[in-house]
């Protein structure tokens, strides 16, 4: 009878402790349901205040429970609620899993602590250890993040790690399709796969769909600044500039102390502003010099795309949005522009009729470029029309997207395979 009373009391205490920690994480995750975005700068302070209050309430429990693995795990979890590494959290969680190696949540929390500590190897060991005890979505999606962050000089190994990362994230989603965090992690995995495997548009869409699904099934996902930044990064690469700017802006509103979204938003605004001015002014090349540059745009510069069976030379103004498969365009470079992140290499192209369009080249080595007055031939040009509006600014222009310099002729000469390189991406992964 005494044993039953003791077990009942222990169960009641465990439930109370778990309730306290769940309330703490609910306060963090649903912060913007009870606070306006204008309070975003206070969020971390408020969460830390709630954390200290929770720890104090937990420590009011009788001393005998403080040595229990479950208590230590919950205390470590509470200390781990902030985005920063906590040594106290590591100490509590390490003791918890030593006392009870089968404590799956303890291993997951300890793995996240190591992740914040930038100790990727130890984080991976923890998540694998948790999975050895029980297959669970938290370990799977965290392992997905770890796989993408493993450093490797071997490109094939790096690709395998990213493919495995997608696999782990998919499994996490399959275990609970209503978990927005798992969908967000899957979106990040697809984002990495997109840049690792040749920028397949299908994979890009899978990433965007995963981010959209995260917001659909979990309203707290809309308050995740990392999701907005990572999606904006992909939108920028896809030349969906208005969505990219909105995403960077939203991320900075949700986390005002985070300088990167503000910087990226301003860099993109500066790039678009400079580009539009250069296009209107044709790189400030006018009069006789521009006429001389355009006067000798001869068919010989079309190379293999001229003659019988070749593509039809058309003026820039005749292009239709999308891929123009039946034609080739030819013009002279009047300016070049490199964004802060060096992607895409951008130049202005003026054709014989005087139209000036932007040409955006991706996947080029750093040493590749074109000079003012170079002729450039673009077969089957992919035209995009941009009308970007953001915070009172409007940017309207036409551009041609080129996935690799290998697709171009410069001064009538093909660009060799050595001019091509893979794109890279910078985004921020997020733990629980």
Q: Are strands 345-350 and 375-379 parallel, antiparallel or unpaired?
A: unpaired
On the question of pLDDT at 40 being above 60, the answer is yes
pTM of the model: 0.87
Tell me if 15-270 shares its fold with 283-415: no
Do the beta carbons of residue 251 and residue 258 sit within 8 Å? yes
pLDDT at 264 over 90: yes
The mean per-residue pLDDT over the stretch 294-314 comes to 86
Which position has the higher pLDDT, 39 or 89? Answer: 89
- pLDDT averaged over the chain? 91
Band (pLDDT 50/70/90 cuts) for residue 2 is: very low
Q: Is 153 helix (H, G, I), strand (E, B) or coil?
A: coil
CA torsion sign, 75 to 76 to 78 to 84? Answer: positive
Domain ranges of the chain: 15-270, 283-415
Domain 283-415 sits in CATH at 2.40.50.550
pLDDT on residue 309: 66
Q: What dihedral do alpha carbons 141, 28, 47, 184 form, nearest 10°?
A: 30
Would you place residue 306 in the very low, low, confident or very high pLDDT band (cuts 50, 70, 90)? Answer: confident
CA contacts within 13 A on the Cβ side of 101? 4
Fold of the 15-270 domain: 1.25.40
Per the rule left: phi > 0, alpha: psi between -120 and 50, beta: everything else, 357 is: beta
What pLDDT score was predicted for residue 1? 43
DSSP per residue over 278-289, as a string? HHHHGGG--HHH
């Amino acid at each position: 009878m005494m044993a039953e009373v003791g077990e009942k009391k222990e169960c009641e205490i465990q439930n109370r402790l778990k309730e306290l920690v769940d309330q703490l994480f609910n306060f963090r995750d649903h912060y913007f349901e009870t606070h306006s975005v204008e309070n975003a700068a206070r969020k971390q302070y408020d969460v830390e205040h709630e954390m200290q209050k929770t720890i104090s309430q937990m420590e009011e429990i009788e001393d005998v429970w403080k040595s229990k693995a479950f208590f230590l795990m919950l205390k470590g979890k509470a200390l781990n609620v902030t985005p920063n590494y906590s040594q106290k959290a590591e100490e509590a969680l390490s003791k918890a899993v030593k006392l009870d190696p089968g404590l799956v949540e303890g291993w997951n929390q300890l793995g996240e602590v190591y992740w914040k500590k930038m100790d990727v190897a130890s984080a991976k060991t923890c998540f694998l250890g948790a999975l050895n005890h029980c297959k669970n979505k938290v370990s799977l999606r965290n392992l997905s993040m770890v796989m993408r962050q493993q450093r490797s000089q071997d490109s094939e190994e790096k690709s395998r790690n990213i493919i495995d990362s997608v696999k782990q994230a998919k499994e996490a989603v399959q275990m609970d399709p209503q978990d927005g965090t798992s969908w967000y992690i899957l979106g990040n995995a697809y984002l990495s796969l997109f840049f690792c495997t040749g920028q397949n548009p299908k994979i890009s869409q899978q990433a965007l769909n995963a981010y959209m699904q995260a917001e659909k099934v979990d309203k707290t996902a809309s308050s995740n600044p990392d999701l907005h930044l990572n999606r904006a990064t992909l939108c920028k690469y896809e030349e969906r500039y208005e969505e990219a700017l909105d995403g960077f802006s939203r991320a900075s509103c949700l986390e005002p102390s985070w300088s990167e979204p503000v910087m990226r938003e301003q860099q993109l605004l500066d790039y678009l502003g400079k580009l539009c001015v250069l296009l209107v002014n044709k790189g400030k090349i006018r009069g006789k010099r521009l006429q001389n540059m355009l006067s000798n745009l001869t068919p010989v510069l079309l190379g293999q795309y001229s003659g019988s069976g070749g593509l039809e030379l058309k003026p820039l103004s005749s292009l239709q949005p999308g891929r123009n498969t039946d034609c080739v365009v030819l013009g002279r470079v009047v300016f070049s522009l490199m964004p802060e992140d060096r992607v895409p290499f951008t130049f202005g192209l003026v054709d014989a009729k005087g139209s000036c369009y932007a040409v955006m080249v991706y996947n080029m080595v750093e040493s590749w470029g074109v000079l003012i007055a170079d002729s450039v031939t673009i077969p089957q040009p992919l035209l995009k029309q941009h009308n970007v509006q953001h915070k009172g600014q409007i940017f309207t222009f036409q551009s041609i997207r080129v996935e690799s310099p290998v697709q171009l002729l410069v001064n009538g000469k093909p660009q060799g395979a050595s001019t091509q390189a893979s794109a890279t991406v910078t985004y921020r992964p997020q733990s629980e």
